Amino acid sequence: MSNRENIMYQKKKKGENIKGPVSRRLTVLRSQLSPDSSSSAMASEKEAALAAAPSDAPTIFDKIIKKEIPANVVYEDDKVLAFRDIAPQAPTHILIIPKVRDGLTGLSKAEERHFEILGCLLYTAKLVAKQEGLEDGFRVVINDGPQGCQSVYHIHVHLLGGRQMNWPPG
């Protein structure tokens, strides 16, 4: 753990307000989840996930796909888009999303018709991991639902690497 990561971890552990990428992510999530309400600040990703709800409205990821919101894209093809997370939880933290949601808001909503895109997301994780030099290993995570800490209801894969992962997670 770098010195900066350690400081961020200690602040988070003490419940202190953390400025920077985490605050920016929560601000973006807040604006997506309740664009008319900026009065109550969410203190964590967990609160953002608990406040989120599946909807047919465009998600922040739909806006990234349409280039309405900038992202640091590391991979793109006709089916998927991969970009760096704005609040990384590891030295390498990349989100991989399908370009078409097709009702696939989370893994628990997957149907047989989603078989191909689910495989494509995982294969893309492997390609991006290689591209990012994660030959010593990496972790793939799919959060699902409020208790799984899903804050954006557009299925997405987290690719994490560049440090030793711990077990059990979260």
What are the pLDDT digits (tens) for 51-109? 887 777 899 999 999 999 999 999 999 999 999 999 999 999 999 999 999 999 999 99
Angle, alpha carbons 9-132-144 (nearest 5°): 60
The stretch 17-37 carries a mean pLDDT of 44
Q: What is the pTM of this model?
A: 0.74
Write the single-letter amino acid at 134.
Answer: L
pLDDT score of 162 more than 80: yes
Where in the sequence numbering do the catalytic residues fall? 156
Residue-averaged pLDDT of the chain: 82
With beta carbons less than 8 A apart as the criterion, state whether 92 and 128 touch: no
The stretch 23-42 carries a mean pLDDT of 42
CA-based R_g, the chain, Å: 16
Identify the pLDDT of residue 53.
79
Which candidate, 66, 57, 83, 55, places its Cα nearest to that of 159?
83
Identify the pLDDT of residue 133.
98
CA distance 22 to 43: 10
Which residues does 140 contact at the CB level (< 8 Å), separation at least 6?
A: 122, 125, 157, 158, 159, 160
CA distance 24 to 166: 26
**What DSSP character marks residue 163?**
S
Identify the pLDDT of residue 23.
44
SS3 104: coil
The stretch 6-35 carries a mean pLDDT of 44
Share of the chain above pLDDT 90, in %: 65
Identify the pLDDT of residue 6.
45
